[in-house]
Structure 1
Protein backbone atom coordinates (compact mmCIF):
# COMPACT_ATOMS: atom_id res chain seq x y z
CA UNK A 1 0.00 0.00 0.00
CA UNK A 2 1.45 3.35 -1.09
CA UNK A 3 0.54 5.30 2.04
CA UNK A 4 2.53 2.99 4.32
CA UNK A 5 5.56 3.42 2.04
CA UNK A 6 5.03 7.20 2.04
CA UNK A 7 4.98 7.27 5.84
CA UNK A 8 7.99 4.99 6.14
CA UNK A 9 9.92 7.28 3.81
CA UNK A 10 8.92 10.33 5.86
CA UNK A 11 10.21 8.57 8.97
CA UNK A 12 13.45 7.77 7.12
CA UNK A 13 13.87 11.45 6.15
CA UNK A 14 13.44 12.55 9.76
CA UNK A 15 15.85 9.92 11.00
CA UNK A 16 18.47 11.01 8.45
CA UNK A 17 18.10 14.54 9.81
CA UNK A 18 18.94 13.26 13.30
CA UNK A 19 15.39 13.52 14.62
CA UNK A 20 15.07 9.84 15.62
CA UNK A 21 11.41 9.91 14.66
CA UNK A 22 8.92 7.36 15.88
CA UNK A 23 5.95 6.54 13.68
CA UNK A 24 3.79 8.46 16.18
CA UNK A 25 5.86 11.58 15.53
CA UNK A 26 5.48 11.04 11.78
CA UNK A 27 1.69 10.85 12.17
CA UNK A 28 1.61 14.07 14.16
CA UNK A 29 3.86 16.16 11.91
CA UNK A 30 2.97 18.67 9.26
CA UNK A 31 1.90 17.15 5.98
CA UNK A 32 1.00 13.62 7.05
CA UNK A 33 -2.78 14.08 7.00
CA UNK A 34 -2.50 15.95 3.69
CA UNK A 35 -0.58 13.00 2.27
CA UNK A 36 -3.20 10.53 3.53
CA UNK A 37 -6.04 12.62 2.08
CA UNK A 38 -4.24 12.76 -1.28
CA UNK A 39 -3.81 8.97 -1.33
CA UNK A 40 -7.49 8.49 -0.40
CA UNK A 41 -8.61 10.84 -3.18
CA UNK A 42 -6.37 9.01 -5.61
CA UNK A 43 -7.79 5.64 -4.53
CA UNK A 44 -11.42 6.77 -4.71
CA UNK A 45 -10.95 8.36 -8.14
CA UNK A 46 -10.28 4.93 -9.68
CA UNK A 47 -13.87 3.82 -9.05
CA UNK A 48 -16.73 5.75 -10.66
CA UNK A 49 -19.11 4.99 -7.83
CA UNK A 50 -16.62 6.40 -5.28
CA UNK A 51 -15.64 9.44 -7.33
CA UNK A 52 -17.61 11.87 -5.09
CA UNK A 53 -15.45 10.66 -2.17
CA UNK A 54 -12.36 11.57 -4.19
CA UNK A 55 -13.57 15.14 -4.48
CA UNK A 56 -14.54 15.19 -0.81
CA UNK A 57 -11.00 14.11 0.14
CA UNK A 58 -9.56 16.74 -2.18
CA UNK A 59 -11.84 19.41 -0.70
CA UNK A 60 -10.83 18.43 2.85
CA UNK A 61 -7.18 18.75 1.86
CA UNK A 62 -7.84 22.24 0.53
CA UNK A 63 -9.83 23.23 3.61
CA UNK A 64 -7.47 21.76 6.24
CA UNK A 65 -4.09 22.22 4.57
CA UNK A 66 -4.49 24.84 1.87
CA UNK A 67 -3.27 22.45 -0.80
CA UNK A 68 -4.89 21.20 -3.98
CA UNK A 69 -3.68 17.96 -5.52
CA UNK A 70 -5.56 16.75 -8.57
CA UNK A 71 -7.43 13.51 -7.93
CA UNK A 72 -5.96 11.94 -11.07
CA UNK A 73 -2.33 12.89 -10.43
CA UNK A 74 -0.15 9.84 -9.93
CA UNK A 75 2.84 9.59 -7.61
CA UNK A 76 4.63 6.34 -6.91
CA UNK A 77 5.78 5.12 -3.47
CA UNK A 78 7.60 7.48 -1.14
CA UNK A 79 5.67 10.68 -1.92
CA UNK A 80 6.16 13.13 0.97
CA UNK A 81 4.46 16.46 1.54
CA UNK A 82 6.84 17.98 4.06
CA UNK A 83 4.76 21.16 4.42
CA UNK A 84 1.51 21.09 2.40
CA UNK A 85 0.40 24.74 2.66
CA UNK A 86 0.10 26.30 -0.79
CA UNK A 87 0.93 23.14 -2.75
CA UNK A 88 -0.94 22.93 -6.08
CA UNK A 89 -0.57 19.91 -8.37
CA UNK A 90 -2.42 19.45 -11.65
CA UNK A 91 -4.44 16.25 -12.19
CA UNK A 92 -2.30 15.15 -15.13
CA UNK A 93 1.04 15.18 -13.28
CA UNK A 94 2.89 11.87 -13.08
CA UNK A 95 5.66 11.38 -10.54
CA UNK A 96 8.06 8.58 -9.74
CA UNK A 97 9.30 7.23 -6.42
CA UNK A 98 10.63 9.23 -3.48
CA UNK A 99 9.44 12.73 -4.30
CA UNK A 100 9.52 15.31 -1.50
CA UNK A 101 7.72 18.66 -1.71
CA UNK A 102 8.10 21.68 0.52
CA UNK A 103 5.45 24.41 0.92
CA UNK A 104 3.96 26.49 -1.91
CA UNK A 105 5.16 24.19 -4.69
CA UNK A 106 3.19 24.40 -7.94
CA UNK A 107 3.36 21.61 -10.51
CA UNK A 108 1.12 22.75 -13.27
CA UNK A 109 -0.33 22.45 -16.71
CA UNK A 110 0.50 24.67 -19.66
CA UNK A 111 -1.45 24.37 -22.91
CA UNK A 112 -2.87 21.01 -21.84
CA UNK A 113 0.50 19.46 -20.98
CA UNK A 114 1.75 18.63 -17.50
CA UNK A 115 5.18 17.70 -16.11
CA UNK A 116 6.47 14.17 -15.63
CA UNK A 117 8.79 13.70 -12.66
CA UNK A 118 11.38 10.95 -12.26
CA UNK A 119 12.54 9.23 -9.06
CA UNK A 120 14.33 10.72 -6.03
CA UNK A 121 13.37 14.37 -6.43
CA UNK A 122 13.40 17.14 -3.84
CA UNK A 123 11.41 20.28 -4.65
CA UNK A 124 12.13 23.32 -2.47
CA UNK A 125 9.62 25.81 -1.11
CA UNK A 126 7.92 28.00 -3.67
CA UNK A 127 9.29 26.17 -6.72
CA UNK A 128 7.20 26.05 -9.87
CA UNK A 129 7.35 23.29 -12.50
CA UNK A 130 5.22 24.18 -15.48
CA UNK A 131 4.26 22.55 -18.79
CA UNK A 132 4.92 19.29 -20.59
CA UNK A 133 8.49 18.91 -19.37
CA UNK A 134 10.41 15.99 -17.92
CA UNK A 135 12.39 16.17 -14.71
CA UNK A 136 14.97 13.40 -14.50
CA UNK A 137 16.00 11.14 -11.62
CA UNK A 138 18.01 12.29 -8.59
CA UNK A 139 17.18 15.98 -9.02
CA UNK A 140 17.12 18.80 -6.46
CA UNK A 141 15.03 21.83 -7.36
CA UNK A 142 15.89 24.89 -5.29
CA UNK A 143 13.45 27.13 -3.46
CA UNK A 144 11.53 29.49 -5.73
CA UNK A 145 13.02 28.00 -8.91
CA UNK A 146 10.86 28.18 -12.01
CA UNK A 147 11.36 25.07 -14.15
CA UNK A 148 10.07 25.45 -17.71
CA UNK A 149 12.53 23.19 -19.59
CA UNK A 150 13.50 19.52 -19.26
CA UNK A 151 15.89 18.74 -16.41
CA UNK A 152 18.43 15.91 -16.86
CA UNK A 153 19.29 13.27 -14.25
CA UNK A 154 21.60 13.93 -11.30
CA UNK A 155 21.53 17.73 -11.12
CA UNK A 156 20.55 20.62 -8.88
CA UNK A 157 18.66 23.50 -10.49
CA UNK A 158 17.93 26.99 -9.13
CA UNK A 159 16.75 30.35 -10.37
CA UNK A 160 14.23 31.96 -12.67
CA UNK A 161 14.26 30.34 -15.13
CA UNK A 162 15.88 27.33 -13.49
CA UNK A 163 19.46 26.54 -14.50
CA UNK A 164 21.84 23.77 -13.51
CA UNK A 165 24.30 24.74 -10.79
CA UNK A 166 25.53 21.29 -9.81
CA UNK A 167 25.96 17.97 -11.56
CA UNK A 168 26.27 14.82 -9.50
CA UNK A 169 27.89 11.70 -10.86
Structure 2
Protein backbone atom coordinates (compact mmCIF):
# COMPACT_ATOMS: atom_id res chain seq x y z
CA UNK A 1 0.00 0.00 0.00
CA UNK A 2 2.75 2.45 0.96
CA UNK A 3 4.61 1.62 -2.25
CA UNK A 4 1.51 2.58 -4.25
CA UNK A 5 1.23 5.84 -2.32
CA UNK A 6 4.87 6.68 -3.03
CA UNK A 7 4.33 5.89 -6.72
CA UNK A 8 1.25 8.12 -6.84
CA UNK A 9 3.10 11.02 -5.21
CA UNK A 10 6.15 10.57 -7.45
CA UNK A 11 4.06 10.53 -10.63
CA UNK A 12 2.40 13.81 -9.60
CA UNK A 13 5.82 15.42 -9.22
CA UNK A 14 6.73 14.21 -12.71
CA UNK A 15 3.54 15.48 -14.40
CA UNK A 16 2.67 18.63 -12.46
CA UNK A 17 5.38 21.32 -12.28
CA UNK A 18 3.26 23.19 -9.73
CA UNK A 19 3.81 20.47 -7.09
CA UNK A 20 6.40 21.69 -4.61
CA UNK A 21 6.35 19.09 -1.82
CA UNK A 22 4.92 15.73 -0.88
CA UNK A 23 2.93 17.29 1.96
CA UNK A 24 1.30 19.70 -0.47
CA UNK A 25 0.19 16.76 -2.62
CA UNK A 26 -1.08 14.71 0.31
CA UNK A 27 -3.01 17.57 1.88
CA UNK A 28 -4.32 19.61 -1.04
CA UNK A 29 -4.53 17.56 -4.26
CA UNK A 30 -8.10 16.31 -4.85
CA UNK A 31 -6.95 14.01 -7.62
CA UNK A 32 -4.64 12.23 -5.20
CA UNK A 33 -7.39 12.02 -2.58
CA UNK A 34 -9.83 10.56 -5.13
CA UNK A 35 -7.38 7.85 -6.21
CA UNK A 36 -6.62 6.86 -2.61
CA UNK A 37 -10.32 6.73 -1.75
CA UNK A 38 -11.03 4.70 -4.86
CA UNK A 39 -8.41 2.08 -4.02
CA UNK A 40 -10.08 1.59 -0.63
CA UNK A 41 -13.59 1.55 -2.15
CA UNK A 42 -12.47 -0.91 -4.84
CA UNK A 43 -11.08 -3.22 -2.14
CA UNK A 44 -14.41 -3.11 -0.30
CA UNK A 45 -16.31 -3.75 -3.54
CA UNK A 46 -14.20 -6.82 -4.35
CA UNK A 47 -14.74 -8.19 -0.84
CA UNK A 48 -18.53 -8.07 -1.18
CA UNK A 49 -18.92 -4.94 0.96
CA UNK A 50 -20.44 -3.13 -1.97
CA UNK A 51 -22.75 -0.81 -0.07
CA UNK A 52 -19.77 0.38 2.00
CA UNK A 53 -17.70 0.85 -1.11
CA UNK A 54 -20.46 2.92 -2.71
CA UNK A 55 -20.74 5.00 0.45
CA UNK A 56 -17.00 5.71 0.45
CA UNK A 57 -17.15 6.62 -3.26
CA UNK A 58 -20.02 9.02 -2.55
CA UNK A 59 -18.08 10.66 0.28
CA UNK A 60 -15.05 10.98 -1.97
CA UNK A 61 -17.21 12.62 -4.65
CA UNK A 62 -18.53 15.09 -2.10
CA UNK A 63 -15.01 16.00 -0.95
CA UNK A 64 -13.19 16.05 -4.30
CA UNK A 65 -15.77 16.60 -7.04
CA UNK A 66 -14.50 13.40 -8.72
CA UNK A 67 -16.82 10.44 -9.17
CA UNK A 68 -15.22 7.01 -9.62
CA UNK A 69 -17.40 3.94 -9.40
CA UNK A 70 -15.84 1.48 -6.92
CA UNK A 71 -15.98 -1.32 -9.50
CA UNK A 72 -13.79 0.59 -12.00
CA UNK A 73 -10.31 -0.84 -12.49
CA UNK A 74 -7.48 1.65 -12.16
CA UNK A 75 -3.81 0.96 -12.89
CA UNK A 76 -0.67 2.23 -11.23
CA UNK A 77 0.51 5.84 -11.22
CA UNK A 78 -2.92 7.16 -12.19
CA UNK A 79 -3.07 10.96 -12.01
CA UNK A 80 -6.14 13.19 -12.15
CA UNK A 81 -5.01 16.80 -12.56
CA UNK A 82 -7.34 19.46 -11.08
CA UNK A 83 -10.06 16.82 -11.20
CA UNK A 84 -13.33 18.67 -10.77
CA UNK A 85 -16.11 17.04 -12.78
CA UNK A 86 -14.30 13.80 -13.67
CA UNK A 87 -16.68 10.82 -13.98
CA UNK A 88 -15.46 7.22 -14.37
CA UNK A 89 -18.08 4.52 -14.90
CA UNK A 90 -18.50 1.08 -13.41
CA UNK A 91 -16.91 -1.07 -16.13
CA UNK A 92 -14.16 1.38 -17.09
CA UNK A 93 -10.61 0.02 -17.14
CA UNK A 94 -7.59 2.30 -16.90
CA UNK A 95 -4.01 1.20 -17.54
CA UNK A 96 -0.78 2.36 -15.95
CA UNK A 97 0.61 5.92 -16.18
CA UNK A 98 -2.69 7.42 -17.36
CA UNK A 99 -3.45 11.13 -16.90
CA UNK A 100 -6.94 12.70 -16.89
CA UNK A 101 -7.70 16.39 -16.70
CA UNK A 102 -10.79 18.08 -15.27
CA UNK A 103 -14.19 17.48 -16.80
CA UNK A 104 -13.30 14.12 -18.36
CA UNK A 105 -16.05 11.51 -18.64
CA UNK A 106 -15.41 7.81 -19.17
CA UNK A 107 -19.06 6.96 -19.68
CA UNK A 108 -21.43 4.49 -21.26
CA UNK A 109 -23.86 4.70 -24.15
CA UNK A 110 -26.20 1.89 -23.14
CA UNK A 111 -28.34 0.86 -20.20
CA UNK A 112 -27.58 -2.81 -20.78
CA UNK A 113 -25.56 -4.63 -18.16
CA UNK A 114 -22.08 -5.82 -18.99
CA UNK A 115 -19.12 -3.99 -20.46
CA UNK A 116 -20.36 -0.51 -21.40
CA UNK A 117 -17.48 1.83 -20.49
CA UNK A 118 -14.13 2.46 -22.22
CA UNK A 119 -10.78 0.79 -21.69
CA UNK A 120 -7.71 3.05 -21.64
CA UNK A 121 -4.28 1.59 -22.38
CA UNK A 122 -1.03 2.54 -20.68
CA UNK A 123 0.32 6.09 -20.93
CA UNK A 124 -2.92 7.63 -22.24
CA UNK A 125 -3.62 11.34 -21.70
CA UNK A 126 -7.19 12.66 -21.90
CA UNK A 127 -7.55 16.44 -22.12
CA UNK A 128 -9.93 18.66 -20.18
CA UNK A 129 -13.61 18.22 -20.97
CA UNK A 130 -13.16 15.19 -23.23
CA UNK A 131 -15.81 12.47 -23.32
CA UNK A 132 -14.82 8.88 -24.04
CA UNK A 133 -18.03 6.90 -24.38
CA UNK A 134 -18.96 3.26 -24.82
CA UNK A 135 -17.08 -0.06 -24.59
CA UNK A 136 -14.23 1.17 -26.80
CA UNK A 137 -10.47 0.78 -26.55
CA UNK A 138 -8.05 3.70 -26.43
CA UNK A 139 -4.67 2.38 -27.49
CA UNK A 140 -1.53 2.79 -25.38
CA UNK A 141 0.28 6.10 -25.74
CA UNK A 142 -2.72 7.89 -27.29
CA UNK A 143 -3.72 11.49 -26.66
CA UNK A 144 -7.33 12.72 -26.58
CA UNK A 145 -7.69 16.46 -27.14
CA UNK A 146 -9.69 18.78 -24.91
CA UNK A 147 -13.49 18.64 -25.41
CA UNK A 148 -13.23 15.76 -27.90
CA UNK A 149 -16.03 13.19 -27.99
CA UNK A 150 -14.65 9.71 -28.71
CA UNK A 151 -17.05 6.88 -29.56
CA UNK A 152 -14.79 4.59 -31.65
CA UNK A 153 -11.65 2.60 -30.97
CA UNK A 154 -8.36 4.52 -31.12
CA UNK A 155 -5.17 2.85 -32.36
CA UNK A 156 -2.00 2.99 -30.27
CA UNK A 157 0.03 6.17 -30.40
CA UNK A 158 -2.76 8.27 -31.91
CA UNK A 159 -3.88 11.84 -31.32
CA UNK A 160 -7.65 12.40 -31.44
CA UNK A 161 -9.54 15.70 -31.58
CA UNK A 162 -12.98 17.00 -32.50
CA UNK A 163 -16.63 16.01 -32.26
CA UNK A 164 -16.89 13.19 -33.09
CA UNK A 165 -13.28 12.36 -32.36
CA UNK A 166 -11.06 11.71 -35.36
CA UNK A 167 -7.44 10.65 -35.56
CA UNK A 168 -5.29 13.57 -36.73
CA UNK A 169 -1.90 12.03 -36.11
CA UNK A 170 -0.60 8.55 -35.61
CA UNK A 171 2.95 8.35 -34.37
CA UNK A 172 5.00 6.21 -36.80
CA UNK A 173 7.53 3.72 -35.48
CA UNK A 174 10.81 5.44 -34.73
CA UNK A 175 13.46 4.94 -37.38
CA UNK A 176 17.07 4.05 -36.63
CA UNK A 177 18.23 7.66 -36.49
CA UNK A 178 15.43 8.70 -34.13
CA UNK A 179 16.09 5.72 -31.85
CA UNK A 180 19.73 6.77 -31.66
CA UNK A 181 18.72 10.36 -30.84
CA UNK A 182 16.33 9.20 -28.12
CA UNK A 183 19.05 7.00 -26.63
CA UNK A 184 21.55 9.89 -26.66
CA UNK A 185 18.97 12.19 -25.02
CA UNK A 186 18.35 9.62 -22.27
CA UNK A 187 22.08 9.25 -21.73
CA UNK A 188 22.38 13.01 -21.24
CA UNK A 189 19.35 13.15 -18.99
CA UNK A 190 17.62 15.40 -21.51
CA UNK A 191 13.92 15.10 -22.36
CA UNK A 192 13.65 15.91 -26.07
CA UNK A 193 9.93 16.48 -25.82
CA UNK A 194 10.04 19.27 -28.40
CA UNK A 195 11.40 17.17 -31.23
CA UNK A 196 9.15 15.91 -34.00
CA UNK A 197 9.69 13.75 -37.06
CA UNK A 198 6.95 15.03 -39.33
CA UNK A 199 6.72 18.77 -38.72
CA UNK A 200 9.29 21.14 -40.27
CA UNK A 201 10.12 22.74 -36.93
CA UNK A 202 13.48 24.55 -37.03
CA UNK A 203 13.94 24.21 -33.27
CA UNK A 204 13.31 20.46 -33.41
CA UNK A 205 15.69 20.16 -36.38
CA UNK A 206 18.39 22.04 -34.48
CA UNK A 207 17.95 19.78 -31.43
CA UNK A 208 18.16 16.68 -33.64
CA UNK A 209 21.37 17.99 -35.24
CA UNK A 210 22.85 18.67 -31.81
CA UNK A 211 22.01 15.15 -30.64
CA UNK A 212 23.57 13.68 -33.80
CA UNK A 213 26.70 15.75 -33.31
CA UNK A 214 26.97 14.76 -29.62
CA UNK A 215 26.59 11.12 -30.56
CA UNK A 216 29.37 11.38 -33.17
CA UNK A 217 31.61 13.28 -30.74
CA UNK A 218 30.99 10.70 -28.03
CA UNK A 219 32.01 7.88 -30.37
CA UNK A 220 35.15 9.73 -31.50
CA UNK A 221 36.21 10.43 -27.90
CA UNK A 222 35.78 6.79 -26.97
CA UNK A 223 37.93 5.75 -29.95
CA UNK A 224 40.63 8.28 -29.04
CA UNK A 225 40.71 7.20 -25.41
CA UNK A 226 40.95 3.54 -26.43
CA UNK A 227 43.82 4.32 -28.82
CA UNK A 228 45.70 6.29 -26.15
CA UNK A 229 45.33 3.44 -23.68
CA UNK A 230 46.61 0.91 -26.24
CA UNK A 231 49.71 3.10 -26.71
CA UNK A 232 50.36 3.01 -22.99
CA UNK A 233 49.04 6.43 -22.10
CA UNK A 234 47.09 7.24 -18.97
CA UNK A 235 43.75 9.05 -18.98
CA UNK A 236 42.26 10.73 -15.95
CA UNK A 237 38.56 9.87 -16.14
CA UNK A 238 37.69 11.37 -12.75
CA UNK A 239 37.41 14.88 -14.12
CA UNK A 240 34.43 14.13 -16.34
CA UNK A 241 30.87 13.57 -15.08
CA UNK A 242 29.72 9.99 -15.41
CA UNK A 243 26.75 9.34 -17.68
CA UNK A 244 24.58 6.23 -17.26
CA UNK A 245 25.38 3.34 -19.53
CA UNK A 246 23.30 3.39 -22.67
CA UNK A 247 23.64 1.11 -25.67
CA UNK A 248 23.91 3.14 -28.83
CA UNK A 249 24.69 0.71 -31.61
CA UNK A 250 24.16 2.97 -34.58
CA UNK A 251 27.23 4.14 -36.46
CA UNK A 252 28.52 7.66 -36.87
CA UNK A 253 26.08 10.11 -38.38
CA UNK A 254 28.74 11.59 -40.63
CA UNK A 255 28.98 9.96 -44.02
CA UNK A 256 32.26 9.46 -45.83
CA UNK A 257 31.32 12.25 -48.20
CA UNK A 258 30.81 14.69 -45.32
CA UNK A 259 34.14 13.66 -43.79
CA UNK A 260 35.86 14.16 -47.13
CA UNK A 261 34.38 17.61 -47.51
CA UNK A 262 35.49 18.49 -43.99
CA UNK A 263 39.04 17.31 -44.66
CA UNK A 264 39.16 19.27 -47.94
CA UNK A 265 38.00 22.42 -46.16
CA UNK A 266 40.72 22.01 -43.52
CA UNK A 267 43.48 21.45 -46.11
CA UNK A 268 42.31 24.17 -48.44
CA UNK A 269 39.92 23.24 -51.24
CA UNK A 270 39.62 24.56 -54.77
CA UNK A 271 37.52 27.51 -53.57
CA UNK A 272 40.16 28.78 -51.16
CA UNK A 273 42.50 31.57 -52.16
CA UNK A 274 45.54 30.22 -54.02
CA UNK A 275 44.53 26.67 -53.11
CA UNK A 276 46.27 27.00 -49.75
CA UNK A 277 44.74 27.05 -46.27
CA UNK A 278 44.15 30.47 -44.79
CA UNK A 279 46.16 31.59 -41.86
After TM superposition, is the score higher than 0.5?
Answer: yes
Gaps of 5+ in 1: none
Q: Relative to 1, partners in 2 of residues 1:61 and 1:123: Cα closer, same or farther, differing over 3 Å? A: same
Decide which of 105, 113, 128 is 1:125's aligned counterpart.
128
Comparing 107-116 with 157-166, greater Cα deviation is found at 107-116
Q: Deviation per CA, 1:59-91, whole angstroms, max 9, x where unpaired?
A: 112211222111100011011111221111111
Contact preservation (8 Å) 2:30, 2:64: no
Map 1:22-61 → 2, pairs under 5 A: 22-27=21-26, 28-48=28-48, 50-61=49-60
Q: Relative to 1, partners in 2 of residues 1:164 and 1:71: Cα closer, same or farther, differing over 3 Å? A: same
- CA–CA separation in structure 1 for the residues paired with 2:117 and 2:102: 20
Q: Which has the higher contact order (CA 8 A, sep 6+)?
A: 1
Structure with the larger strand share: 1
TM, length-normalised to structure 1: 0.89
Decide which of 147, 151, 166 is 1:148's aligned counterpart.
151
Structure with the larger helix share: 2
- CA–CA separation in structure 2 for the residues paired with 1:97 and 1:147: 20
**Please, what is the CA RMSD of the aligned residues?**
1.6
TM, length-normalised to structure 2: 0.56
Map 1:6-155 → 2, pairs under 5 A: 6-14=8-16, 17=17, 19=18, 21-27=20-26, 28-48=28-48, 50-111=49-110, 112=112, 113-155=116-158
Gaps of 5+ in 2: 173-279
Shift of 1:20: 6.5
